[in-house]
């Protein structure tokens, strides 16, 4: 099943440390994503019983001679550089290949990783374990991301370990298994660059291009400029997606930014209820560095940190290299903003066009006016976008709103293909979900999971599979924002 390939082991040994999962006294399978295994990999696990599966997904049993490793990386954490982080509570079991015959897609490699399986050489003072709650959160949110159409790591399994994990209080321990296109981060490059091991940086760039960007087009015959550009493109797509769904990652440290452009490391993440540009959920983000409205700026900041790692490789002359990189980055920066504007306009049923600068400026003002209105009136982000065009009477009958609605209507008339309101509505319904994993619903699933009750967890997963389609009265509770006593102000990563 696993380890059909293990290309990361072909890299030098300073890229990782070999390590085994900790012993689990009584592992138990809580959830297995059979649908993912069958649809993407044509893998069926019917020949394993639940005890065997629990042993596999806690690292107690290794398949196909798997050699688990913890990957090395560094990272800027809240703006401060830490030269040695690495997988402190994660193990890369191996890589599996998607079945290209299932969806007529190109064959693709995926990492299989355990989270919470115990200490590694990179754990520092941590125990490498995970409580059940963070595993539940990541399973729900990563799967919801997938069904929104946002690039993301996928949830494969959750197992309880049969032991307590000690945080403020003793909590049930769990191990989460995820799939990812890779676990190469901006911080992976920083790890080697900070040690002046540019031979390793070079190997990592070539490996990354081969694994993630096979169809790249060379920029100035320079693979390092090309690599920066490719990472920028997938990252700009990712962040614009986050913004369009009101998602706040919470900890956009460079060690949490995948170069593949997937959402990774779901810690203190959350989807907004009431809109606010300054919204933060991470308990430790006191200054709001990773607030909703800062995410594009931080993504670009992280891209600059990646580019710095490649300077000595871009050109042997440092001044020339810096000039080339700066020139490229200046061209790249507007792309993040354009992607954001494109997605936000689509939520209003407006086609993005950069052919007319005056219209583009008006469109940007329109989006900002609408968001300012939501913030001032303390309105729900998801519901407001979903119902804006279908029930305008739902909103305050203010002059500000009337002007905004009038401007939106005028722009619809300029969209030659979308003059009919019903057609516009159908288009907006494809990008404006009814259901998101609201914080209070996720917290309810977590609380019940600690009582060995997974009914709410399963319902959240079910409703997340069709987020844009009304699923009836049985799921109406998942549409609604929290009551005052249900509001979740902080979320936690669980390390």
Catalytic residues: 255
d(CA 191, CA 14): 10
- CA-nearest of 467, 454, 37 to 247 is 467
Residue 114 near residue 58 (C-beta atoms within 8 A): yes
> Could you give phi then psi for residue 33, rounded to 5 degrees?
-85, 75
124: left (phi over 0), alpha (psi -120 to 50) or beta: left
> What single-letter DSSP state applies at residue 450?
T
What number of CA atoms fall less than 13 Å from residue 168's CA on the CB side? Answer: 2
Chain segment 246-279, per-residue pLDDT in tens: 999 999 999 999 999 999 999 899 999 999 999 9
Is the confidence at residue 305, as pLDDT, over 50? yes
Q: Which residues contact 420 (CB under 8 A, 6 or more apart)?
A: none
> What single-letter DSSP state applies at residue 80?
E
Domain ranges of the chain: 7-186, 439-486
Is the confidence at residue 409, as pLDDT, over 50? yes
Chain segment 432-466, per-residue pLDDT in tens: 999 999 999 999 999 999 999 999 999 999 999 99
d(CA 71, CA 85): 9
How far, in whole angstroms, is CA 69 from its chain's centroid? 23
Between β-strands 154-166 and 170-180, what pairing exists: parallel, antiparallel or unpaired?
antiparallel
Q: What is the mean pLDDT of the chain?
A: 93
- What token pair was written down for 275? 């809109």
- CA-nearest of 97, 92, 106 to 37 is 97
Instruction: Give the pLDDT of residue 3.
Output: 44
Residue-by-residue DSSP string for 143-209: HHHHHHT--B-EEEEEEEEEEEEESSSEEEEEEEEEEES---BHHHHHHHHTTT-HHHHHHHHHHHH
- CA-nearest of 57, 48, 34, 160 to 113 is 57
> What single-letter DSSP state applies at residue 392?
G
Q: Which helix (H) or strand (E) element contains residue 90?
A: strand 90-97
Residue 150 near residue 238 (C-beta atoms within 8 A): yes
Stretch among 290-299, 327-336, 390-399 having the lowest mean pLDDT: 390-399
Is the confidence at residue 1, as pLDDT, over 60? no
d(CA 21, CA 89): 9
Instruction: Give the pLDDT of residue 495.
Output: 54
* The overall pTM is greater than 0.85: yes
pLDDT band at 418 (very low <50, low <70, confident <90, very high): low
Residue 67, classed as helix, strand or coil, is: coil
């Amino acid at each position: 099943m696993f380890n059909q390939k293990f290309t990361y082991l072909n890299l030098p040994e300073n890229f990782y440390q070999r390590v085994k999962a900790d012993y689990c006294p009584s592992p138990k399978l809580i959830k297995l994503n059979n649908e993912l295994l069958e649809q993407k990999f044509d893998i069926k696990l019917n020949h394993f019983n639940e005890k065997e599966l629990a042993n596999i997904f806690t690292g107690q049993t290794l398949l196909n001679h798997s050699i688990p490793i913890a990957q090395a990386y560094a990272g800027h954490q809240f703006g401060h550089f830490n030269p040695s982080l690495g997988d402190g509570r994660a193990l890369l079991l191996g890589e599996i290949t998607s079945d290209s015959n299932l969806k007529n897609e190109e064959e693709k490699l995926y990492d299989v990783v355990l989270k919470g399986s115990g200490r590694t050489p990179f754990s520092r003072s941590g125990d490498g374990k995970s409580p059940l709650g963070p595993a539940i959160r990541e399973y729900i949110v990563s799967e919801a991301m997938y069904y929104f159409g946002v690039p993301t790591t996928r949830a494969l399994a959750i197992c309880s370990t049969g032991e307590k994990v000690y945080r403020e209080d003793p909590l049930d321990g769990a191990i989460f298994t995820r799939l990812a296109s890779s676990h190469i981060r901006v911080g992976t490059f920083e790890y080697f660059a900070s040690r002046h091991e540019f031979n390793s940086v070079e190997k990592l760039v070539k490996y990354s291009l081969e694994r993630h960007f096979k169809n790249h087009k060379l920029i100035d015959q320079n693979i390092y400029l090309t690599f920066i550009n490719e990472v920028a493109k997938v990252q700009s797509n990712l962040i614009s997606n986050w913004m369009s769904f009101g998602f706040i990652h919470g900890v956009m440290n460079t060690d949490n930014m995948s170069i593949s452009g997937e959402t990774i490391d779901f810690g203190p993440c959350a989807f907004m209820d009431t809109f606010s540009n300054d919204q933060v959920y991470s308990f430790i983000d006191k200054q709001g560095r990773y607030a909703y409205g800062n995410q594009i700026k931080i993504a670009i900041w992280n891209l600059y940190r990646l580019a710095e790692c490649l300077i000595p490789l871009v050109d042997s002359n440092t001044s020339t290299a810096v000039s080339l990189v700066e020139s490229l980055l200046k061209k790249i920066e507007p792309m993040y903003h354009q992607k954001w504007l494109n997605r936000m306009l689509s939520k209003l049923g407006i086609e993005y066009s950069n052919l007319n600068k005056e219209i583009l400026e008006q469109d940007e003002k329109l989006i900002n006016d609408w968001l300012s209105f939501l913030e001032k009136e303390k309105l729900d982000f998801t519901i407001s976008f979903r119902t804006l065009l279908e029930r305008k009477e739902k909103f305050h009958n203010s002059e500000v709103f009337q002007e905004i609605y009038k401007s939106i209507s005028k722009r619809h008339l300029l969209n030659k293909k979308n003059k009919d309101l019903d057609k516009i509505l159908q288009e907006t319904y494809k990008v404006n979900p009814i259901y998101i994993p609201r914080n209070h619903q996720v917290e309810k699933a977590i609380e019940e999971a600690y009582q060995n009750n997974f009914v709410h967890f399963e319902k959240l997963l079910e409703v997340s599979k069709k987020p844009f389609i009304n699923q009836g009265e049985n799921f109406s509770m998942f549409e609604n924002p929290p009551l005052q006593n249900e509001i979740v102000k902080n979320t936690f990563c669980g390390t």
